[in-house]
Amino acid sequence: MELTNFQEKIQTLEAAEDLIGLGREASELRQEFEDFMIEAERVEQVKRLEAADQGSSYEELDYRPIKEAFFETYKSFQEKRKKQVELKSALENENLKQKKSLIERLKDVIENEEKIGSAFTSYKEIHENWKKVGDIPRDKREAIQKEYSRLLEIFFYNIKIYKELKDHDYKRNQQLKEALIFKLKQLRTANLPVREAEANLRALQDEWEEIGPVQNEEWESLKNAYWETVRGVYEKFNEHYEQQRVVLKENIDAKKALIQQLATITSEIESLKTAKDWDQKTKEVLALQEAWKKIGFGSRKENEQVYQEFRKHCDVFFQAKKDFSKEIEGKFKDIADKKRALIEEAKSLCNSQDWKNTSEKLIRLQKQWKESGNAGHRFENKLWTEFRAACNVFFEAKEAHFKEQDDANAANLSAKNELIAELEAWNLPADKNEALQSLRSFQDRFNAMGQVPIKHKNTVYQAFKKAIDAKYAALKLEGQEKENILFKAKIDNLESSPDRAKLFQYEKNDIRKQIDGLNKEIMLLENNLGFFAKSKGADALRADVEKKVKHAQERIQGLKMKLKLIPNE
């Protein structure tokens, strides 16, 4: 759901005329909005962390105006609904007074009215008014209805005007009451929403009172059957509300358990000293956030309270992580400044023709470079490229100066060509391990043979790569074993290339691109999980999505292992 849809929905609810029945819908919408915002803010945090890992900055989106607008409308809705509930309560209490007054009038008619015609007229007036009176408080409804029914029973027993029609009427009334009892039994077993079932029960009870009397000998059993069935329906309602209370309490308890786990993590923040430590704890916090989203609602009052507590611990953790990242970035900047000084010194030496002393100085600078540590993704690669370029100016000039190395390079070329011919003529042994060991030996021998003339570097490398790739292709490798071995062989081949630094970087970029794609896929799948209701139909979809998430995470771990196999140039 889009953020604008949340605002439009809460505005639509707030603009409705009857808000009493919309309380749960509004609460669920608010919970969905809060879950959506948790995920949105988490995504922003992940983007910022990823940007920091890649050496770039990222400005997080500020969701506060959106949240303030939503909760302002939600608060207005709650205030309007509260007024309607209070008004309804007042009306129900007023209706209760009216019904009690009608009961007193009916008692007076029964006890004091001696004229049957007047008594019947008074009854009709009282009963019509009774029907017009609206709902009364639920906890008084059954008692008031019983008293009214009892008085009606007495009244109708006292009315003699229907004696000549009583047999027919009694029989008809009995049939109607039996049919109504049957409807009540159906209502007790029907799978209807509780509010709808309560409305149906009130309608059937009003209909029961509309039906006239029955034979005295039948009335007691009919009355008992009626009230027994009504009590059964009320018991079903009470059971439903009790089950709801149990579920809500279980949800609150589950959320409190997550808060306790999160509180334990935030209490250990001071012990987190490395980026690896923070990454591990971040995974645990994100897992707790995912678990939170899967838990249903609790009672309205407690649900808001535990959410605020959970969010407070999340904010504490991620603020501490942000502070840690700033501190690390400061250290990276200090290292970068030291390396810039080394670059300037290397540039001052790059045009020197004092081959021996300058070589020693540049080698010493390279050693200092390594001892300075890593300047982070933001600086390291760019600075290393600049430093290496300055060193290469000198060493390439030195290489050109010592042309006598050409003979040695030519010998190396001849030796490598002979090795390629040997590899092409070599037959794979039947034993796979022996074959892999031999191919590794060919690779090591090729790498150990030294440089060849510059114009032949790429040609001899491509020839060797083609020959050894053909041998690996001939091996019957399968599954993960095949992927791991071929990738290691690929790295070994790239090690032999004159352009190995560029090829290694290209390989790293490709793997990181794959990891980014999988992370985006995981985020999309995890977002989809939040929309699945807790039902049997959704469980299968949820399991399928979770399986896909797990598979993508496993692929990411495999790609990260490959990154570790690639040497740093």
Looking up tokens 């009916």 gives 106
- Looking at every residue in the chain, the average pLDDT score rounds to 79
Give the per-residue pLDDT at 243: 65
Tell me the C-alpha distance between 531 and 35, whole Å. Answer: 10
Give residue limits of the domains in the chain.
1-161, 163-298, 314-402
Distances (CA, A) of 134 to 91, 95, 98: 8, 6, 10
Tell me the C-alpha distance between 325 and 283, whole Å. Answer: 16
Give the per-residue pLDDT at 538: 67
CA torsion through residues 184, 189, 190, 191, sign: positive
Q: Looking at residues 484-509, what average pLDDT do you find?
A: 71
Helix (H, G, I), strand (E, B) or coil at 73: helix
Helix (H, G, I), strand (E, B) or coil at 534: coil
pLDDT above 70 covers what percent of the chain? 87
Looking up tokens 């081959």 gives 355
pTM value > 0.85: no
Residue at 429: amino acid letter: P
pLDDT band at 569 (very low <50, low <70, confident <90, very high): low
- Whether residue 486 is predicted with pLDDT greater than 80 in this model: the reply is no
pLDDT band at 556 (very low <50, low <70, confident <90, very high): confident
CA angle 470, 475, 477 (to 5 degrees): 125
- Where residue 450 falls (left for φ over 0; alpha for ψ -120 to 50; beta otherwise) is left
φ, ψ at 208 (rounded to 5°):
-60, -40
Distances (CA, A) of 261 to 285, 288, 294, 310, 542: 9, 8, 16, 10, 25
Tell me the C-alpha distance between 324 and 513, whole Å. Answer: 27
- Whether residue 482 is predicted with pLDDT greater than 60 in this model: the reply is no
CB 31 within 8 Å of CB 97: no
Which of the residue ranges 271-285, 409-423, 457-471, 493-507 would you say has the lowest mean pLDDT? 493-507
- Whether residue 33 is predicted with pLDDT greater than 70 in this model: the reply is yes
Q: Looking at residues 76-86, what average pLDDT do you find?
A: 84
What is the DSSP track for 237-289? HHHHHHHHHHHHHHHHHHHHHHHHHHHHHHHTGGG--SHHHHHHHHHHHHHHH
pLDDT digits (tens, 9 = 90+) for 190-224: 777 877 778 888 888 888 888 888 777 778 888 88
pLDDT digits (tens, 9 = 90+) for 381-435: 887 888 788 788 878 887 777 766 667 778 888 888 888 898 888 888 878 778 7
Tell me the C-alpha distance between 96 and 534, whole Å. Answer: 40
- Pick 336 or 375 by higher pLDDT: 336
- C-alpha closest to that of 365 among 346, 340, 351, 381: 346
- Whether residue 331 is predicted with pLDDT greater than 80 in this model: the reply is no
pLDDT band at 493 (very low <50, low <70, confident <90, very high): low
Give the per-residue pLDDT at 162: 47
Helix (H, G, I), strand (E, B) or coil at 147: helix
Q: Looking at residues 148-166, what average pLDDT do you find?
A: 71
CA torsion through residues 162, 165, 170, 173, sign: negative
CB 83 within 8 Å of CB 20: no
Give the per-residue pLDDT at 83: 84
- Pick 491 or 535 by higher pLDDT: 491
Mention every residue, 6+ apart, whose C-beta is less than 8 A from residue 545.
525, 528, 529, 532
Tokens matching residue 425: 């003529």
Mention every residue, 6+ apart, whose C-beta is less than 8 A from residue 160.
116
Contacts of 12-21 with CB under 8 Å at 24 or more apart are 13/77, 14/73, 14/74, 14/76, 14/77, 14/80, 18/84, 19/77, 19/80, 19/81, 19/84, 20/81, 20/84, 20/85, 20/88, 21/195
Residue at 273: amino acid letter: K
Q: Looking at residues 332-349, what average pLDDT do you find?
A: 79
Tell me the C-alpha distance between 298 and 118, whole Å. Answer: 56
Rounded to a whole number of angstroms, the CA Rg of the chain reads: 42
- Pick 182 or 258 by higher pLDDT: 182
Give the residue ranges of DSSP H helices in 350-453: 355-371, 380-401, 405-425, 432-448
pLDDT digits (tens, 9 = 90+) for 259-269: 888 788 888 77
Give the per-residue pLDDT at 164: 54
